[in-house]
Chain A
Amino acid sequence: MADALRLTYNACDPDKPATTDHYIDCSKARGSGVLRDRFLSHLYRSDEKVRFLFSGHTGCGKSSELEQVREGLLRPEGDHPRYFPVIVNASDYLDEYDVAPVDIFLSIVSELAAALREELGIELSDNYFIKRIEEVKQFFLSDVEMREGELGLGVAKLKIQRLKRDPDARKEVRQKLEPKMPTMAVEINTVFDEARVAIAKKNVKGGSFGDFVLILDNMEKIFGFPGKEEGLTSQRELFIERAPQLTAIKAHVVYTVPLRLVRADGPQLMQRYGVQPFVLPMVKVFERGSSTPFDAGYECIRTLLQKRLGDLSLDEVVAPDALDFLIRYSGGHLRNLMTFVREACTQASSIPIPIDAAKEAIRPTISSYSRAIPEAHWKMLAELDESANQSIPGGDPNYLLMVEQLSVLEYVNGGIDDLFAASEPWYAVNPIVKELQKFKAAKPELSKVSQS
C-alpha cells in the first residue's frame, strides 16, 4: 500500500515531461492537432528551413509534446528522413528576467556543439565562435580555468550556463559581443553548415541523419529584456522587434513563445516568422459555457494517469469520486493535475485515495490563487464567467495577464463540423478560482449592476 502511494507520488512528478512510454494523444480532448504531426508535416514538405512557433499555458504539456517531436525526428515513420534533434532548454542558460539575443545565440551554439559531441562524437571547430568565446571567457571563468587554454565549443556548455546566474558577467559579455551581433547572426549559419555536413557524414546506428532541428524550449518563460518593462513589453521586444535576429538563423527551429504574446500580437508574430503559432490548449474537461463534464476529456486524463502508473491500477489507487474531483479542479491543466495527485498521496494513509484527501490536496492551490489575484480582476473574472460566448476582449491586457497567471484557462472545441467555431479559442475561469469567496462575491455585485 505504502509502495503504491510512493509509486504514484513519483510517477506524477509535475516537473517531468511525459516520455514516449507515458505519452498519449489528447488531441481530441484538446481540440487541437498533435504538435508532432503538424511539425513533421511542415518539415517533410518544405523546401526551405522550417520555422515553427509553439505556445500554450505554462504546465499544459508543452514539454511532453516537444519530447514527442524529438522522438518523431529520431524515429520517423515510413521512409521519411531522420533528423538530429537539439533541445535547447532556455531555462538552463537564461535568466528569465534578463535575456538578450546574444545570450540566446551563445546558448544555441553551446548546446548544438555539446549535443553533437556527446551524442555523435562530432567536434565542431568553428573559429568565429571560438574567438568570440575567447574574447569574453575572462568574465565567467576562474583564473585556473583561464590558464587551461582555448575553450572548445563542445565543452563550453556548462561554462556558458554560468552566465544565467551572474548578471555582472552577462553585462560584460553583452557589452563585448552585442556590436558583433549582425555578424554573429550570419556566422552562426556557418556553424550550422559545419554541423550539417558532419552529421550527414556520420554513420550512426538507426540510420544517418539528414539535418538537425533546433527545439528552443522554455523560451516562453522569458519575462525581461534589458531596458524594457517586464512582461509583455519585454516579450514583444524579444520575439517581435528582435525577430530579424532570431529568424536570421538558417536551420529548422521550433520556438516556444508566450501564450499571452500570441493572443496579444498573433498577426505580428505570423508576419515576422511567416507561420501561424501552434497553440496547445487545455484538455477540455467541461463544455463551453457550462459546468457539464466533457467525458472525452475525463477519459483522456484517466488514460494518461494510468499510463504513468504502469502496472498499478488507477481505480485501485484513487477512488473514482476523488479522481473526478481532482480532474474537475485541474481544469484540464496537466501539471496542476500532477501536483494535485502528488499532494493527495501525501494526504492519504491508504489506497484508494479518498475524496477527503483529494480535497486537502487542492487546498494550497486555493490559498495561492486567493492571494495572487489582483482586486481589479475579480469583477472581470465574474463577467467572463457570466458571458454567453466565453471570449475575452482582443488585446485586453488584464485578461491576457489572467491567461498568463492561469486564473483564466484557454480551450478549443476542435472537430470538423464548423471550422470557425471549432478553431476559435474560448476562455473559462479556473474552476478553483470559481470556488473562491471573492469570486462568488463579485457575481451578485455584477447582477446588481446589470439590474440597476
Chain B
Amino acid sequence: MSNVLSVDETSIELEEEKQLEALARSLELAEGFALLPAQCDSPEIRRRLMNRLRIRLPRFRIEEIHFAEPVTHLLDELAIRMDDPRRDVVCVSGLENTISDPLTLRSNALIANLNASRNSFSVRLGCPLVLWVPEHVFVSIARGAPDFFSVRSGSYFFGHHKEPFSFDPVLLIDEPDFWPLHNLTDDEKNERAQARENILSSYGELPAEKRDFVAEARLHREVGVLYKLLRLYDKAESHYESIQKLGADFRRRDMEAISEFELGLLEIQRSQDALARSQHLQRAEEMLTLSVALWCELEGESTESRLQESYRKNEAAAVRALGICYSEQENFGKALEMLEKAEQISRQAGDRVAEGRALLVEGHALGMEGALAEAESKTMQSLDLFRAAGDRTNEAIARSQLSRVLGARGEGQKAEELRRASRDLARELGFIPLLLDTLEHLGSFYVHRGRHLEAESCYQEYLDISRKYGKTYPEADALKQLSSLYESMGDYQRALQFARESALAYEHTNSTFDVKAVQADIERLERTLAERGTLRS
C-alpha cells in the first residue's frame, strides 16, 4: 500500500480541535440567538465534544436536549423541554430520529416547520442554538429549509465523516477498448460516428466477396458506443442490431454474442437516465444472459485453442456485465455470484487485467450493498493486479473507487488523499471521463465537509474541463452542482442562475430525467427567492 493510505489521525484531531475552538468562540461572541449547526455522525464523538466544550467554556450554562422520538416542530418542542431560564446556550441532538431516510427529506414536516418558523427562533430562544446533526440531516436542513439555514452564524464539522457509497458505473460498464472514444468532444463524437457510418455505407455497396464483415462489425460497435456516449440510445441500439444482422447473414454467432452483449450494456446505461429503471435492467439481464450462453456454446464447439481463449475472455466480460446488471438491480447475492465467476474465468485464462476488472466490480457491488470492509479488500486486490500489469488507467479507476469506499467507511482524510491521487493520475493520463468524475466527487466531498471554497474550485474546474472538451452532460451536471453549492451557501440568486444554465445544458443531453430534476430545483429556488422578495428573472 502506498503512503497515501497511511492513517493520519493527528491531522484529523487537529482539524477537530480547530472546529471546536471556532464553535466555542462563536458561543462567546454571540449575543442572543445564533444558529450553529454542527455536523457529527457519531453520538460517541458528539458526547466527547460536548464534554470538551464544557471544559472550554466553564462559566457557560449549557442546556442539552436530546430528541429520542420524532418531532414535527423543533421550536415548540424546545419550548416544552427547556427548563433553565438562565441558560447561555441550547444544544440539540437526536433529530436523526425524525429524519431517518434522506430520500424523503424535502417533504418532512420538521424541515418544513424549521423554514416557516425561522423568524420566531430569535424571539423565543434568546440564546445560541447548537444543532448536533449527522451528515444527512445537515444536508437536508441546508436543502429543505434554506431560509432557516441561511441565518446560521457558522457551520462546524466533526469526526470521521462518512459518505454514502456511490461510484458512477459507466467506467465499469464500458470495455477498455472503447475508453479513448470517451475523450472525444461531443461534436467530435458526432463527426466520428458520421465518418464511420459513411464507411459502413461504402462497405454496403461492395459485392459480398469484397466486404470485410469483421471490420463492419467493429465499426457498428464503435458507432454504437459513440451514440451511447451521446445518449442517443435508439441510434446506438440500431447499430448494435446491425451487428446481429451481420452475424446472421455471415453465420457468425460470435457477432450475435457481441450484439447481445452491447445491447445489454446499453440497457444498463439507459437505466441510469431513466425513471423506469427496472424495465431496462430486466432487458439487460435477458440480453447479457443470452450473450453468456452464446459464448459458452461457441467455446464448447470450438476445437481451436486460440478461438477458445478468445471466447472465454468474451464470456468473462459478459458474465462481469451480468454482475453489474444484478448489482444495479440490487440483487447483490446474484451479482457477487456472477462476479466471482468472471474473476475465476479470467484468472484461469491468465488475463490479469480482466480479473482485476471483475474484482473492481465486486468491490463496487459490495460497496453498494454496504459491505464496506469487503469492498475495500476487493478493490485493493484489483488495484494490486492493475499495478502489476502496468495498467494505469484501470489503476486510476480503482483508486477512485477505493476513495469512495474509504469515504463511506468514515476514513475521510485517506479518501480525500486517494481522490486527489486519482484525479492527478487521470489528468496525467489524459483520461477525461475519470478526471471529470474525480473532480465532481472531490467537490462533493468538500461540500459535505463545509469546505465551500475548495468545493467551488473543484466544481469550477469540472465545469471548465467539461466545456473545454465539449462534454455537454458533465457541463450540465457541473452547473447543477454549483447551483446546489451556492444554495447551501445561502446565495440563492446565484444558485438559481446556475440551475437555469444547467437546465439549458441538460436540454441538449437527451436526458429527460435530469431535465425534470433540475426544473424542480429551479422551482424551489424561485419559491425561496419569491418568499424573500428578491427574485430576479
A residues lining the B interface (CB < 8 Å): 47-48, 126-128, 179-183, 185-187, 189-190, 193-194, 196-198, 200-201, 208, 210-211, 241, 250
Contacts and interface: CB of A to CB of B under 8 A. Distances in A.
Contacts of B218: 189, 250
29 contacts: A47-B214, A127-B191, A180-B183, A181-B430, A182-B179, A182-B430, A183-B180, A183-B181, A183-B183, A186-B180, A186-B181, A186-B222, A190-B192, A190-B195, A190-B196, A190-B199, A193-B196, A193-B219, A194-B195, A196-B215, A197-B203, A197-B206, A200-B206, A200-B210, A201-B205, A201-B206, A210-B210, A241-B390, A250-B215
A196 B200 CA distance: 11
A96 to B, nearest CB: 26
A11 B105 CA distance: 90
A267 to B, nearest CB: 15
Interface string B202-213: 110110001010
A127 B181 CA distance: 15
Given A128-B195, A186-B178, A190-B192, 8 more contacts: A126-B195, A127-B195, A180-B183, A183-B184, A189-B218, A190-B222, A196-B215, A201-B202
Contacts of B431: 182
Closest 8 CB pairs of A and B: A182-B180, A179-B430, A183-B180, A197-B202, A186-B180, A200-B210, A193-B199, A183-B183
Interface string B465-497: 000000000000000000000000000000000
B57 to A, nearest CB: 55
Most chain A C-beta atoms within 10 Å of own C-beta, residue among B183, B188, B210: B210
A181 B428 CA distance: 13
Nearest to B206: A200
Given A180-B183, A193-B219, A197-B199, A128 B430 contact: no
A181 B199 CA distance: 22
Nearest to A274: B306
Contact of B215 (A193, A201, A241): A193
Contacts of A126: 195
Contacts of B203: 197
Contacts of B219: 190, 193
B212 A196 contact: yes
A390 B178 CA distance: 49
A181 B184 CA distance: 12
Contacts of B181: 183, 186
A49 to B, nearest CB: 9
A250 B188 CA distance: 21
Nearest to B194: A127
Contacts of A186: 178, 180-181, 222
Interface string B491-530: 0000000000000000000000000000000000000000
A415 B218 CA distance: 43
A376 B386 CA distance: 42
Contacts of A196: 212, 215
A342 B235 CA distance: 66
Nearest to A48: B214
Contact of A185 (B180, B184, B191, B212): B180
Contacts of A241: 390
Contacts of B390: 241
Contacts of B178: 186
Interface in B222-262: 222
Contacts of B179: 182
Nearest to B212: A196
A183 B196 CA distance: 15
A181 B210 CA distance: 31
A198 B179 CA distance: 28
Contacts of A182: 179-180, 183, 430-431
Given A128-B195, A186-B181, A180 B215 contact: no
A194 B203 CA distance: 9
Most chain B C-beta atoms within 10 Å of own C-beta, residue among A128, A189, A200: A200
Given A190-B199, A194-B199, A180 B206 contact: no
B178 to A, nearest CB: 8
A186 B196 CA distance: 12
Contacts of A183: 180-181, 183-184
A210 to B, nearest CB: 7
Nearest to A179: B430
Contacts of A47: 214
Nearest to B199: A193
Interface in B157-191: 178-181, 183-184, 188, 191
B377 to A, nearest CB: 29
Nearest to A181: B430
Contacts of B195: 126-128, 190, 194
A433 to B, nearest CB: 40
Contacts of B199: 190, 193-194, 197
Contacts of A190: 192, 195-196, 199, 219, 222
Contacts of A179: 430
A127 B193 CA distance: 12
A126 B191 CA distance: 10
A185 B183 CA distance: 12
A43 B26 CA distance: 79
Contacts of B222: 186, 190
Most chain B C-beta atoms within 10 Å of own C-beta, residue among A186, A189, A196: A186
A372 to B, nearest CB: 37
A136 to B, nearest CB: 16
A410 to B, nearest CB: 30
Contacts of A193: 196, 199, 215, 219
A189 B212 CA distance: 14
A196 B181 CA distance: 22
Nearest to A186: B180
A201 B205 CA distance: 9
B191 A180 contact: no
Nearest to A198: B202
A83 B195 CA distance: 24
B42 to A, nearest CB: 44
Nearest to A241: B390
Contacts of B184: 183
A203 to B, nearest CB: 11
Given A187-B192, A196-B215, A180 B202 contact: no
A46 to B, nearest CB: 10
A186 B192 CA distance: 11
A180 B192 contact: no
Contacts of A197: 199, 202-203, 206
A311 B431 CA distance: 63
A208 B209 CA distance: 12
A179 B203 CA distance: 32
Contact of A180 (B205, B212, B430): B430
Nearest to A126: B195
Given A197-B202, A197-B206, A250-B218, A128 B212 contact: no
Contacts of B183: 180, 182-183
A93 B397 CA distance: 37
A416 B180 CA distance: 48
Nearest to A187: B192
A208 B222 CA distance: 28
Contacts of A208: 210
A253 to B, nearest CB: 15
Interface string B11-45: 00000000000000000000000000000000000
